[in-house]
Structure 1
Amino acid sequence: MKKVLVLIMSSLMMIAFLSSCTETTQTKDATPTVKSDDGGDFAVKAINNQVSDFAIDGFPGGSSKLSKNEDLENMKKIVALVKPIIDQVPAGYVMQITGHAADYDGKAKQMSVSKARAEKIYTELKKAGVAPAKMTYKGVGITEPISGADLKDAKQRAVSFKAVKK
């Protein structure tokens, strides 16, 4: 009788243990599209969080050409990373490619060079297969500096990305 009772108790404990060890998996949609009351789009916020650390720098002063192999490789890597993100930009938005400049030369030269830098990356993304309708570009000179770097720092000679309304 004792053996039967021990066997039943052991079986119940095993069943309880196995039922508590079952695994449940939940999948989440990677691109939320719920709109908030203020009209902001969560997908756009998520996209901007993804691209906020992407910047293509290494441009020589006064130029939109990347000449060092490491800078060219960096550009290719970022283009490869940004391309699928641009494909996720929702209708009514585009990926803005923004060219920046360090605080040298005159304002007109800064605007011209920063626009040429943005256009260079825009062209590279088009070559990589991104639809031109999903992108736009502009140069801002030093009016929108890269955070964390002095205005005269070479890191200001860069291109950044942000999803914006059309």
Structure 2
Amino acid sequence: MTTAPPTPRTPSVPPAPPTSPGTDAAAFVAALRRLKAWSGLSYRQLERRAVEVGHVLPYSTAATLLGRDRLPRKELVAAFVAACGVEDGDAQAWVDARSDIACRDAAAPPKSEEKPPQPRRSLRPGRSRPHRPSRPSRPHRPSRWARPSRWASAGAAVLLAAILGGAAAQGAFTETEEVRVTQTVTR
């Protein structure tokens, strides 16, 4: 008994890239998700198809690309769209749509209402350059002497063993009776 390969329930024409002026990175990535659903391919199959058409698209990269709402790189969009089975002319439309969104995002003013921080000026008179802000502080990390190393711990153990061994050899750990009578012999 033979079975026919499954046919996708989606239309034979791939979805078009979003081209409306209000499209942002999240909407573009959502359209890429719809394109993957249209193709009916798994991430591993997308990886193999990308290699067949001359692109490199690791399956983990494809999964990450669709899992975020950030705009993917142009090369990844080209590889992903080609792996999904979109023809060259339509694939270029996807890359162009991605470039348009990237240009709009770069030209748009920041969405936050906060003013950008003003550069700090030096308080010392006579300086010709403004004060450069310092690097962001790193999380506190104890110095190398604050935590003993493996070798220091081993050395301390050997030293303790030597001291205890010497004390045992001298009889420090044996029970002795106290001498009550002291006799002095004179000649």
What TM-score does the superposition give when structure 2 sets the normalisation length? 0.23
User: What is the TM-score of this pair, normalised by structure 1?
Assistant: 0.25
Going by fraction, where is strand more abundant, 1 or 2?
Answer: 1
Higher relative contact order (CA 8 A, sep 6+): 1
